[in-house]
A and B are shown apart, each in its own frame.
Chain A
Amino acid sequence: MFKILRKRELAPDIYLFEVEAPRVAKTANPGQFVIVRAYDKGERIPLTIADYDKRTGSVTIVIQALGASTRVICSFEEGDSFVDFAGPLGQPSDFIHFDPDKINGKRFLFVAGGVGAAPIYPQLKYLKERGAVLDVIIGARSKELLILLDEIREKVDNLYVATNDGSFGYKGFVTCVLEELISKGNQYDQVIAIGPMVMMKSVAESTKKYSIPTIVSLNTLMIDGTGMCGACRVTVNGKIRFTCVDGPEFNAHEVDFDEAMLRLNMYRSEEQKRLVDIERKHHKCKIGRTM
């Protein structure tokens, strides 16, 4: 069992959990993820590692209540436990293999949408410690859905914020800010985009025009996360790749996003049915502790 040490509400329906998982904390690297199961009949849910502390043996995840399983998780409190917390899975971010001089003084632009702001945090931390220059664009639908702004501001050189409704920062999409920064003459050695598939797709289209190397972190469907089922397969550079073992980070300009977006919807009708079932159950019995 993996105990929840700390829970924090970051925004409506978005929570941060610090979880006791010493083995995972010990070997975690930026860019990797875990698979958790909330209770013994629950699904295996992939979540990006948002922070880790090798000393205390804790791993932080940030999770948005979307469907049945994520809602149950978000109802957990400090002291509750996950039955399973497996990881770190996937490949670490490419830059952990870079020579220090390939990071020191190099300019990185991060583009994060929604809960995507959480997984960029360990990457920022890692790069900052090694002298990179960091610009970050964070986007959300509206002001109250922006998360981790203060934590991120601390680690970066320039922070730009965009909201769809203009309730904070620029009004519009993160890609508008991206286009503006580039057209103003900002040069970047590397763009890293993490967020909803559509957002990553449009970032990829923008940076391709300017030939800026770009990495995205794909949030495909997954089951085992160890390469055994193929549910997470995507087409990258014309080849089938498994997101859980070959990714989750890929060269954005080689990903077939249209296919990846279609595949995300594969279980939509089953999931919606399930959500209705679970909500009915929530009213009656104990699985859904009240939020």
Chain B
Amino acid sequence: MGTLKSRVAIAEQSPKERRSNFNEVCLGYNIDEARLEATRCLECKKPKCVEACPVSINIPLFIKHIKSGDIAEAAKVIDLDSSLPAVCGRVCPQEIQCEGSCVMGKKGEPVSIGKLERFVADWTIKNHLELTTKSSKRNSRVAVIGSGPAGLSCASDLAKMGYEVTVFEALHMPGGVLVYGIPEFRLPKSIVEEQINQLKRIGVRFELDVIVGKTITVDSLMEEEGYGAVFISTGAGLPRFMGIPGENLNGVVSANEFLTRINLMKAYQGDYDTPVYIGKNVVVVGGGNVAMDAARSAIRLGSNVKIVYRRSEKELPARAEEVHHAIEEGVEFCFLTNPVEILSDEKGWVNELRCVKMRLGEPDSNGRRVPEPIPNSAFSISCDMVIMALGTSPNPLIINTTKGLKSERWGGIHVVNEFGKTTRPGVFAGGDAVTGAATVILAMQAGRKAAAAIDEFLRERDSKHFNFSSAN
């Protein structure tokens, strides 16, 4: 067992081919490949991989079922801890989580845990395996605000417990960042749709075009519409800008705008109405997943793309696989570089990005070395589009319109325990709205924990109510 040092190769579209389409890059294992890769797992007694998975999926066990060819059984194992395996198998930063701790990685390559998880999840979808049975109906309604991974997983668990769940979403399509942010070539929208259809099948209602805080409020949901509890999972969608001169010039956009036009509004498909402007020479500022997604989308639309990042390659926060794919596709990286000004032609269109060179100074309180500008190092990059991918923060709308909610100074919703309990009874929160921009798996976990807490809250409320009425 565990004889192969390297991973079983996985089929991918070649870089040349995929530069001109939005189809998924990685084509996934077939069953033989998956079973072969599964043989590499040593089934450790104290599996390091499980410790490093934020939701502690029983990795050796599900892989063991793959080995023996029982994929349905593998799916059941994963389902105990994750409600979005088809998504997380594709987008988790495995190299710093499960795979980063796999013992096989010490001498060779770690087991392809993410790809195996994805294989199981895709197999489940293809074979219409319904994993869950709904328990008996419970007479309480729960409102979930926002339909990203946190909201979807919370709704899923609550519906399975028998609650009547309605998800309210501001946009015209459910899925949160999974539909408006992460591009098709990394996460096919049909997969997200399938996850959402699964929820609909177990009775979750979706009400789109409802902006909580504007159309309705948390108060009106609880006081007028009879929702016993509310879960706030509104994400962290507010884009940051640098505050440098020229940022409002034409041709300068946030990554959210660029990606929303492409993913949510499908501007790259001829038969959709939303326009998208594509520069010939595009500079993307930032080094996270968002920057990689923007850069690789621009490549597919025919641009030459440079990524400008103020730290060095080692500090890039994006998933390793995305950086690797971006380089293969021809994205050029300018490390230790920071923009200071954007200049334009006489018509107000961007034509030049002024930058300075940076070096890494002393580590900050998080141990990350702080980049500082090198004096007299200014230089220019000529370009006709600049995409800002500098991170996002939570939208203050719900905080500002809900009685009794406390927020953190940086804008996140304040929670009093790890189950997402807020300062207002019956109101829970989780995902990026609480943590700031983080990951899909953490948002999913927050949703599930809150679902458990909401169940407990409603049961307690009902039993009090029951005691009270029986005492009378």
Contacts and interface: CB of A to CB of B under 8 A. Distances in A.
A86 B265 contact: no
Given A41-B266, A87-B211, A227 B395 contact: yes
A86 B215 contact: yes
Contact of B237 (A43, A227, A274): A227
Given A233-B248, A235-B248, A262-B348, A68 B209 contact: no
Interface in B235-279: 237-239, 241, 243, 247-251, 253-254, 256-257, 260-261, 265-266, 270-277
A87 B214 contact: yes
Contacts of A84: 172, 208-209
Interface centre among B209, B216, B348, B397 (most CB of A within 10 A): B209
Q: Which of B170, B180, B395, B397 has the most CB of A within 10 A?
A: B170
Contacts of A230: 239, 241, 253-254, 256-257
Interface residues of B, number: 41
Given A228-B239, A235-B248, A263-B250, A271 B215 contact: no
A24 B273 CA distance: 25
B72 interface: no
Contacts of B211: 86-87, 89, 226
A69 interface: yes
A183 interface: no
Interface string A4-33: 000000000000000000011001000000
A266 B170 CA distance: 26
B172 A37 contact: yes
Contacts of A88: 214-215
A289 to B, nearest CB: 16
Interface string B206-248: 0011110011100000000000000000000111010100011
B265 A27 contact: no
Interface residues of A, number: 41
B216 A227 contact: no
Contacts of B241: 230, 233, 240
A234 B247 CA distance: 10
B386 to A, nearest CB: 13
B239 A229 contact: yes
A140 interface: no
Interface in A43-99: 43-44, 68-69, 83-89
B191 interface: no
Nearest to B392: A228
A86 B239 contact: no
Contacts of A265: 250
Contacts of B180: 224, 228
B103 interface: no
A271 B275 CA distance: 7
B171 interface: yes
24 contacts: A24-B215, A27-B216, A37-B172, A41-B271, A44-B172, A69-B273, A86-B211, A86-B215, A88-B214, A88-B215, A223-B257, A223-B274, A227-B238, A228-B180, A228-B237, A228-B260, A229-B239, A230-B254, A234-B248, A240-B248, A262-B249, A263-B250, A270-B277, A278-B273
Interface of A: 23-24, 27, 37, 41-44, 68-69, 83-89, 223-224, 226-231, 233-235, 240, 245, 259, 262-263, 265-267, 270-271, 274, 277-278
The 9 closest A-B pairs by CB, nearest first: A270-B275, A86-B209, A229-B257, A262-B348, A230-B254, A228-B237, A84-B172, A43-B273, A267-B275
Given A37-B172, A229-B239, 20 more contacts: A41-B272, A41-B273, A43-B265, A44-B274, A68-B273, A84-B172, A86-B172, A88-B215, A89-B211, A223-B257, A223-B261, A224-B170, A228-B180, A229-B254, A230-B241, A230-B257, A233-B241, A233-B248, A240-B241, A265-B250
